[in-house]
Amino acid sequence: MTNARLFDKLRTLIEDTRDADKKHIKKLRKVLRKLKERQNELRDKLGDVDNPSERRKIEQEIAVISLQRGKGVEVYRQLKAARKNRKEGKLPGTAGPGSDT
């Protein structure tokens, strides 16, 4: 799967977090895992590349993937915490996206 498709999937999963269930969280985790694998592949490839322009291109791709993964991981953690709080019977939305807890 290309980076663009992974980013698109990630964006869709991040934007649609209102009623995140276990299945939604699993999909998000799967996309994050694929992005991490892609990032590691690019890091390995970076060691073999001597062309400066190609290196710069790969480094940019790694940077973009890293930023997108960071956003996704933050949403993933918030969703997990919100789900845990709902299971424990706490007030809904106390640890959801946009809160400080």
Q: What is the pLDDT of residue 19?
A: 67
Residue 45 lies in a domain: yes
Neighbours of 14 (CB within 10 A): 18
Residue 96 lies in a domain: no
Residue 28 lies in a domain: yes
Q: What is the pLDDT of residue 9?
A: 83
Give pLDDT < 50 ranges for the chain: 100-101
Residue 99 lies in a domain: no
**How many domains, in total, are found in the chain?**
1
Residue 16 lies in a domain: yes
> pLDDT tens for residues 22-36?
888 888 999 999 999
Percent of the chain clearing pLDDT 90 (strictly above): 45
Instruction: Kindly report the pTM of this predicted structure.
Output: 0.74
Residue 58 CA to residue 43 CA, distance in Å, equals 8
Domain extent, residue 21, equals 3-86
CA 52 to each of CA 43, 66, 85: distance values in angstroms, whole numbers, following the listed order: 15, 21, 49
